[in-house]
Amino acid sequence: DAAGPEILTFAEYVRLVARACSVRRAFVSVPDWAALGALHFAGMFLRDVILTREELLGLKQELLVSKSPPLGKESVSDWLLAHGADFGRRYVNDLDRHFRGGKAKAI
């Protein structure tokens, strides 16, 4: 959890990231199986695991948000808006980083 002074829903966070990157996208709700299928397909292309079923369930059940008072002082919104222009310039493959000794790649 981004332990700052604000708490965002997953949908709010995704929309905020899009705004920070200055992109306009339509967001639609899809069943879990469709989202996981699309992410699995993208993961095959990237040779990575983008989101597991367990991670999706954790996001939906808000298990990734601590009940403790926030430790951070900077808001997630402010940070994302300040750094959004840098998003998407490099991709860090989690499988490479954790298990194959890889580095971030320019995309």
Higher pLDDT, 63 or 95: 95
Token reading at 20: 């920070």
Under 8 Å between Cβ of 3 and 72: yes
Residues 6 or more apart from 27 whose CB is under 8 A from it?
Answer: 11, 14, 15
Look at residue 86 in the predicted model and tell me its pLDDT: 87
Under 8 Å between Cβ of 20 and 28: no
pLDDT in tens, 5-60: 787 887 888 899 999 999 888 989 899 999 999 999 999 998 899 999 998 888 88
Look at residue 25 in the predicted model and tell me its pLDDT: 86
Mean pLDDT of 97-102: 74
